[in-house]
């Protein structure tokens, strides 16, 4: 088992040297925080991760949740883990003091979830699903609903979930068929339907589960406009007693990875006995849900980076210790073998991982910072942060998710045959990483979101804000001659992006299908350039701080500079082929017919 | 469970319309064969696959081999399966009549292994490992050794293996430390050492295992020049009795996928009781082994395509049946949902799989045909076929292996959440596909082989032969106006390859490290262009045969033409970014230091 699973040094670099997270403490909402309190949070996250979560990484993979007598049985330690996350205040840490929260910035909270996810992704899913569900309730629910549900959720006694997907409504949420019929009690509905793929939808480590569930009130508008949001507990309170609310667990999914987390198939109201409590206004469910989506999606991107980072450090450790072969210029077979980290191709596979993961982490913390600004800043700063976050969210979710499949694959490859065996953790990370391009919106959905909605939002203002930010980075880099090749390459790539965007937008009015046919590739192009920008930000700081650095910091900054160069030389260069394809006029995927396959 | 797992129509197209496999029957060695006998072989392969192998696909994955009391226990049906492969003549089918074989072309044999692998890769490994081991024995062993071992191997009673890897010698075979000491009986040695990752290295579905094992005769030269080949049975014959030969099974590896096949860790001669029989001359072991390598590596590429193809058809079936969402131009949510195969992005993921897999199958059958020619042709044709096969082998092994990880990933993505569950077979294919870039030489090793050895072999004659073949394809395509865009794109890509190759070769004399630093990317570039060439071959035949086609064949040829276009538009275009990187001068991976990670 690899000992290191993330880099505290890099996290400090990202938060304090690149992002200047301490600036957040100037805002009133975060006034009680400072660098020291941030570090205490991150140290606490590290400690739980090392002592509690990471030791269970393998055993939770080998012992999947099972459905036993209608209840999903999870790893027996999950109960105390969820309780600890509640007791230590993690579940409601970002929320207000008057809610029992700590008014912790999302930036720091997400840095902590990065640590938890790198230690043991499955276990970290439980508490933070509750956070997401509670956030919906507190944002849109009545005071009474908040009072009824959130205290036990914050305490880790009750699990929260997001219950969206149905057998015939996955990517197409407008097609849900779960129904809600008003009862005699205002705000209270009888719910009937089926929900599938519900993460932590039922398990024996909590006393109750509260589903934030989408359903359609009978007689409402068709499609997405008729979707409402309900709180649907597994057991509801009646006269101070918990009584069964007719939410049955029909099954638990067995999955390729991420096995410690139970994913449930739920039958809701099969016996006519499910009560749901309307959250907010009728028919506003999808809007409410989507207001929380940015955060959930940044969270998924972060978890993709977590898993990739754990795999990277496992492969790095192996590469440093494993002797095999000799330099290609060494012909004497009697010379001792060298550690494989000496081979260029192994360094390439390590740099690939490092460049993608640290670039993605940088973007995700940046997006978390935007989320904080969109919450606590004022005026233009607030609005611009929200808009820029909207634009970047599909990228921040999808780039790390897609690339996490490739970085964990590179980790397996570094270990060779050993990497394919269960003797090392990298094969588990490879299996776990594969979920991220699927859940919280598939990559295809995010491509459509970016190109079809976000790029043109407010007349393209989001893109203008992004370009202004990138321009600021280019200006910051200008004093450093060594960074000019990177700045030039980034500028050239932006030219390509601009040309591609204009070309695609020119198709939009007359041919929606052609406009969006390659939206997934556009997302990829956009993602690569965004990460390249993040690397120029990091490289500029490293270049600035290197002269005064001492000890390990010299290696750290040199590593940053070299990894930035790697990203530009090996990854940014991919935009040329992508742009070529995106500007081509052969609409192969549209012309292809189903019967020709 | 998906019903279709490969396309018999495509296999016929590849073998008879593109490759003209029937031409092989003009050679004396294959004189008794004809199209009808080839088809009988393929039908037989299909029948075993459907009735015996495929039904065990999932159950073999869920019930891994276990080490019980020193013996690896595999699925109980493996004994009858291996026996059937023996009885039906599959194990020695390519060998001579006087050996009990059927003088079957490698082209047809490999087409059959493609079918077996698509049905159940793990199960297909057992018999064909025996074929490979027996081939070494019959090619280089004495008549006495051949008599002693091969009849029971051909009958499926004894398993054959290739025993190369050791704890400290994986990619670097010259570092093996297994020793051989002559005994009083000539040709007979006492063997001592450890072998790891030995596929089918021990199991209870056969009576005995014969390891074709590399070891160093004490006092011989250092490095690769001191490696000899031995036949080391698990039990040896003494006075007509089988007695224990001191080859102990120390462990069975548990792996991410491909779980039905047992991979053993062997202790050889721990009690001083292992006898090995020298195969051929002393110190020639690596040369012997490598003479068999081309075939084994083409076999690995083929199995990568097999797994990918099974995943492709599973995802195609799902895409045709699964309704979800509406066309992007449809705004009315009350209209029924459409099958996802109607969405451009789903078609893209299906075309990606189809183009990579059918392009790879075409290359692998072409390489099999070259193997046949290098065996039965005369003079220049024989020598050229052997040289071209040498050049193409690293590509034919690595391109399908690397891309198989991506095509199975695309299959998972087509199914979305369902694809991540064990309710569908695609997650298993995703796990199984990951072995291929590792075994039979990692992709990094093949990159070094291609650029460092094969490209310059015989003064670059292999590349010249390849270019002449491609030129022939361009000439064949010339009559068809619709194919000119492809021909032009291929010509332009060849120009890039030429420039890159010249650039890299110019570095070789002065800087070996720089010359080979990006050999893996060179292999990727070479692979994409090679597959593009295969697609032009296929497209030309499809274009030629389309006018006279009727019924399903019209769809088939239209599909071929569209898939060729897809490969050129979305895959071939990648050469531009690769060429840019390969011609760059920033040696990032060489400059990076271990302590900077």
pLDDT at B109: 98
Q: List beta partners, residue B252.
A: B264
Residue to mutate among A356, A417, A418, A508, with most B CBs inside 10 A, is A417
Chain A residue with minimum CA distance to B592: A562
Q: What does residue A510 show for φ and ψ, rounded to 5 degrees?
A: -100, -25
Q: Name every chain A residue with its beta carbon within 8 A of the beta carbon of B588.
A: 351, 562, 565-566, 569-570
Contact A431 B431 (CB under 8 A): yes
Interface probe for A, chosen from B174, B223, B256 (most Cβ of A below 10 Å), is B256
Q: How far is CA B281 from the centre of its chain?
A: 29
Contact B254 A419 (CB under 8 A): no
Alpha carbon distances (Å) from A275 to A133, A138, A196, A235: 18, 20, 19, 9
Name the closest residue on chain A to residue B335, using Cα atoms: A223
Residue A330 pLDDT: 87
Q: What phi, psi does A433 have (nearest 5°)?
A: -60, -25
Tokens read off for B234: 């698990």
Question: The whole model's pTM is what?
Answer: 0.98
**Interatomic CA distance for residues A258 and A247, integer angstroms:** 24
- Mean local confidence (pLDDT), B516-529: 98
Three-state DSSP string of A125-173: HHHHHHHHHHHHHHHHCCHHHHHHHHHHHHCCCEEEEEECCECCECCCH
Which residue of A lies nearest to B428 if distances are taken between CA atoms? A256
Query: Cα-flanking dihedrals φ and ψ of residue B442, to 5°?
Result: -65, 165
Give me the mean pLDDT over the B229-251 stretch: 97
Determine contact, residues B211/B232, Cβ cutoff 8 Å: yes
A207: which residues sit within 8 A by CB, 6+ positions away?
A152, A157, A158, A242
Substitution target in A315, A411, A420 with the highest count of B β-carbons within 10 Å is A420
Query: Which residues on neighbouring strands pair with residue A236, listed in sequence order?
Result: A243
Query: Which candidate from B434, B485, B584 shows the least CB-CB separation from A420?
Result: B434
| Helix (H) or strand (E) segment spanning residue B403 | helix B379-415
Nearest-angstrom CA–CA distance, B44 and A181: 60
pLDDT (0 to 100) of residue B189? 98
Residues of B in contact with A528 (CB under 8 A): none
Is there a contact between B588 and A581 if contact means CB atoms under 8 Å apart?
no
Identity of the residue in B320, B420, B577 whose CB atom sits nearest the CB atom of A577: B577
Instruction: Decide if A438 and B447 are in contact by the 8 Å CB cutoff.
Output: no
Residues of A in contact with B7 (CB under 8 A): none
| Average pLDDT taken over every residue of chain B | 97
CB B211 within 8 A of CB B29: no
| Mean pLDDT over each residue of chain A, to the nearest integer | 97
| pLDDT value of residue B2 | 52
Q: Which two tokens stand for residue A544?
A: 């600035």
| Residue A513 to residue A535: CA distance in whole angstroms | 34
List CB contacts (< 8 A) between B452 and chain A. Answer: 328
- CA contacts within 13 A on the Cβ side of A293: 19
Say if residue A419's pLDDT is above 50. yes
Nearest CA in chain B to A434: B420
Give Rg (Cα) of chain B.
24
pLDDT at position B1: 46
Provide the pairing of β-strand B179-182 with B208-217.
parallel
Kindly list the structural domains of chain A, giving each domain's residue range(s) and its CATH number in brackets, ordered by start: 8-66+74-152 (1.10.540.10), 159-285 (2.40.110.20), 459-597 (no CATH)
DSSP A337: P
Chain B residues near residue A518 by CB distance under 8 angstroms:
344, 348
The predicted-structure confidence for A353-390, as pLDDT tens digits, reads as follows 999 999 999 999 999 999 999 999 999 999 999 999 99
Q: What is the pLDDT of residues B475-508, one digit of tens each?
A: 999 999 999 999 999 999 999 999 999 999 999 9
Q: Which long-range contacts (CB under 8 A, 24 or more apart) does B426-429 make?
A: B426/B311, B426/B314, B426/B315, B427/A255, B427/A256, B427/A434, B428/B57, B428/B58, B428/B61, B428/B257, B429/B307, B429/B308, B429/B310, B429/B311, B429/B314
Strand segments (E) across B200-343:
208-217, 227-233, 235-238, 241-244, 247-252, 263-268, 275-278
What does DSSP assign to residue B193?
A: E
Token representation of residue A524: 């990829």
- In terms of CA atoms, which chain A residue is nearest residue B174? A333
Q: Distance between CA atoms of A189 and A576, rounded to whole angstroms?
A: 55
Instruction: Give the C-alpha separation, A337 to A323, whole Å.
Output: 5
Distance from the Cα of residue A342 to its chain's centroid = 33
| CB distance B538 to B362 below 8 Å | yes
Q: Which residues of B176-194 are buried (b: 16+ CB within 10 A; e: fewer)?
A: bebbbeeeeeebebbbbbb
Distance from CA of A212 to the nearest CA of B (A): 20
Which residues are paired to B210 by β-bridges? B160, B233
> On the CB side of A169, how many CA atoms lie within 13 Å of its CA?
21
B576 vs A577: CB contact, 8 Å cut-off?
A: yes
Residue with tokens 């600004």: A373
pLDDT of residue A2: 53
Q: Which pLDDT value is given to residue B331?
A: 82
List CB contacts (< 8 A) between B196 and chain A. Answer: 417
Q: Residues near A146 by Cβ (< 8 Å), separated by ≥ 6?
A: A137, A138
CB B359 within 8 A of CB B491: no
Out of B255, B576, B597, closest to residue A354 by CB: B597
Of B430, B562, B590, the CB nearest to A256: B430
| Candidates B197, B256, B581; nearest CB to A431 | B256
For B69-182, list the strands marked E by DSSP.
71-73, 158-163, 179-182
Record: contact B569-A588, CB cut-off 8 A: yes
Q: Catalytic site residues of B? A: 440
Q: Do A597 and B343 touch (CB under 8 A)?
A: no
Which of B434, B352, B123 is CA-nearest to residue A257? B434
Mapped onto helix, strand or coil, the DSSP state of residue B569 is: helix
Cβ A337–B168 below 8 Å, yes or no?
yes
- ipTM comes to 0.98
Contact (CB<8Å) B439/A448: no
Q: Which residues of A touch B341 (CB under 8 A)?
A: 594, 597
In this model, does residue A586 exceed pLDDT 60? yes
Which active-site residues of A does the annotation give?
440
Q: What are phi and psi of A466, to 5 degrees?
A: -60, -45
Choose among B337, B416, B518: nearest Cβ to A442.
B416
Q: Is the pLDDT of residue A184 over 60?
A: yes
CB contact under 8 A, A172 and B448: no
Distance (Å, whole) CA A289 – CA A162: 9
Contact A256 B326 (CB under 8 A): no
DSSP state of B283: T
Calculate how close chain A gets to B347, using CA atoms only, in Å: 6
Give the chain B residue nearest A61 (alpha carbons): B256
Question: Rounded to the nearest 5°, which phi and psi values hold at A50?
Answer: -75, -40
Q: Give the rounded percent of residues in chain A with a pLDDT score beyond 70.
A: 100
pLDDT digits over B544-571, tens only?
Answer: 999 999 999 999 999 999 999 999 999 9
Q: What is the pLDDT of residue B55?
A: 97
Residues in chain A: 597
Mean pLDDT check: name the lowest of A50-54, B2-6, B45-49: B2-6
**Contact B92/B134 with Cβ under 8 angstroms?**
yes
| Dihedral angle of Cα B162, B166, B172, B178, to the nearest 10 degrees | -90
Q: Is A248 helix (H, G, I), strand (E, B) or coil?
A: strand
- Interchain CB distance below 8 Å, A413 and B520: no
How many angstroms away from the CA of A446 is the closest CA of chain B? 12
pLDDT of A1 strictly over 80: no
- Is residue A292 very low, low, confident or very high in pLDDT (cuts 50, 70, 90)? confident
Predicted confidence (pLDDT) per residue in B415-438, tens digit = 999 999 999 999 999 999 999 999
CB-CB under 8 Å, B575 with A325: no
Q: What is the pLDDT of residues B295-340, one digit of tens each?
A: 899 999 999 999 999 999 999 999 999 999 999 888 888 999 999 9
CA distances from A160 to A69, A135, A508, B293, B453 (A): 22, 10, 40, 56, 60
Pick from A301, A312, A314, A428: which is nearest to A366 by CA?
A301
CB contact under 8 A, B430 and A434: yes
pLDDT for B472? 98
- In chain A, which residues have their Cβ closer than 8 Å to the Cβ of B573? 577, 580-581, 584
Instruction: Tell me the pLDDT tens digit for each residue of A197-245.
Output: 999 999 999 999 999 999 999 999 999 999 999 999 999 999 999 999 9
Length of chain B: 597
Give the mutation candidate from A577, A584, A591, A593 for the B interface (greatest B CB count, under 10 A): A577
Q: What is the pLDDT of residue A278?
A: 98
Q: What CA–CA distance (Å, rounded) separates B532 from B519?
A: 20
Distance CA A103, CA A95 (A): 5
The backbone torsions φ and ψ at residue B44, rounded to the nearest 5 degrees and listed phi first, read: -65, -40
CB pairs under 8 A between A and B: 278
Structural contact between residues B154 and B134, judged by C-beta atoms closer than 8 angstroms: yes
How many C-beta atoms lie closer than 10 Å to residue A393's C-beta? 25
Q: Which residues of B touch A348 (CB under 8 A)?
A: 517-518, 520, 589
Written as six digits, the tokens of B250 are 């120390």
Partner-chain contact A343 B444, CB within 8 Å: yes
Cα of B100 to nearest chain A Cα, Å: 36
Largest CA distance in chain B: 88
C-alpha to C-alpha distance for B86 and A64, rounded to whole angstroms: 39
For A550, other C-beta atoms within 10 Å of its C-beta total 6
């Amino acid at each position: 088992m690899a000992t290191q699973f993330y880099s505290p040094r890099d996290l400090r670099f990202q938060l304090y040297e690149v992002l200047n997270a301490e600036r957040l403490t100037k805002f009133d909402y975060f006034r009680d925080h400072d660098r020291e309190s941030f570090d205490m949070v991150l140290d606490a996250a590290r400690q739980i991760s090392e002592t509690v979560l990471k030791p269970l990484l393998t055993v939770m993979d080998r012992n999947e949740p099972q459905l036993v007598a209608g209840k999903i049985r999870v790893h027996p330690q999950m109960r105390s883990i969820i309780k600890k996350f509640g007791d230590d205040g993690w579940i409601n840490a970002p929320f207000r003091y008057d809610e029992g929260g700590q008014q912790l910035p999302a930036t720091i909270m997400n840095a902590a979830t990065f640590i938890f996810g790198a230690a043991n992704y499955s276990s970290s899913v439980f508490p933070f699903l509750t956070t997401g569900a509670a956030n919906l309730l507190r944002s849109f629910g009545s005071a009474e609903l908040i009072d009824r549900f959130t205290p036990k959720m914050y305490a880790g006694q009750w699990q929260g979930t997001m219950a969206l997907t149905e057998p015939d409504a996955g990517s197409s949420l407008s097609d849900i068929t779960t129904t809600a019929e008003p009862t005699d009690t205002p705000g209270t509905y009888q719910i009937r339907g089926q929900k599938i793929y519900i993460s932590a939808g039922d398990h024996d480590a909590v006393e109750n589960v509260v589903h934030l569930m989408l359903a359609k009130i009978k007689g409402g508008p068709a499609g997405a406009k008729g979707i409402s949001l309900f709180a649907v507990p597994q057991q509801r309170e009646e006269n101070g007693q918990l009584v069964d609310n007719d939410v049955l667990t029909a099954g638990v999914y067995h999955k390729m990875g991420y096995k410690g987390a139970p994913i449930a198939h739920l039958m809701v109201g099969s016996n006519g006995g499910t009560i749901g409590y309307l959250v907010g206004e009728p028919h506003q469910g999808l809007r409410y849900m989507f207001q929380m989506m940015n955060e959930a999606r940044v969270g998924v991107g972060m978890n993709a980076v977590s898993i990739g980072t754990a795999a990277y450090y496992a492969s790095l450790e192996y590469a440093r210790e494993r002797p095999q072969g000799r330099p290609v210029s060494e012909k004497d077979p009697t010379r001792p073998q060298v550690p494989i980290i000496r081979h260029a191709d192994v360094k390439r596979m390590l740099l690939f991982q490092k460049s993608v993961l640290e670039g993605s982490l940088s973007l995700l913390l940046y997006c978390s910072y935007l989320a904080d600004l969109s919450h606590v800043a004022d005026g233009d700063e607030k609005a611009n942060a929200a808009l820029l976050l909207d634009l970047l969210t599909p990228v921040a979710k999808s780039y790390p998710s897609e690339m996490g499949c490739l970085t964990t694959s590179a980790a397996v490859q570094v270990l060779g045959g050993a990497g394919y065996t269960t003797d090392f953790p990298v094969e588990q990370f490879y299996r776990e990483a594969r979920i991220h391009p699927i859940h919280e919106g598939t990559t295809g959905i995010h491509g459509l979101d970016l190109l079809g909605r976000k790029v043109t939002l407010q007349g393209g203002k989001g893109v203008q804000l992004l370009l202004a930010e990138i321009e600021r980075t280019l200006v910051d880099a200008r004093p450093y001659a060594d960074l000019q090749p990177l700045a030039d390459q980034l500028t050239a790539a932006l030219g390509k992006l601009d040309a591609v965007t204009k070309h695609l937008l020119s198709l939009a009015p007359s041919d929606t299908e052609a406009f969006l046919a390659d939206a997934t590739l556009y997302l990829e192009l956009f993602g690569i350039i965004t990460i390249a920008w993040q690397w120029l930000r990091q490289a500029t700081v490293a270049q600035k701080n290197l002269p005064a650095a001492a000890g390990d910091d010299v290696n750290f900054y040199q590593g940053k500079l070299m990894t930035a160069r790697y990203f530009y030389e090996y990854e940014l260069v991919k935009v040329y082929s992508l742009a070529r394809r995106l500007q081509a006029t052969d609409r192969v995927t549209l012309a292809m017919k189903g019967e020709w396959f």
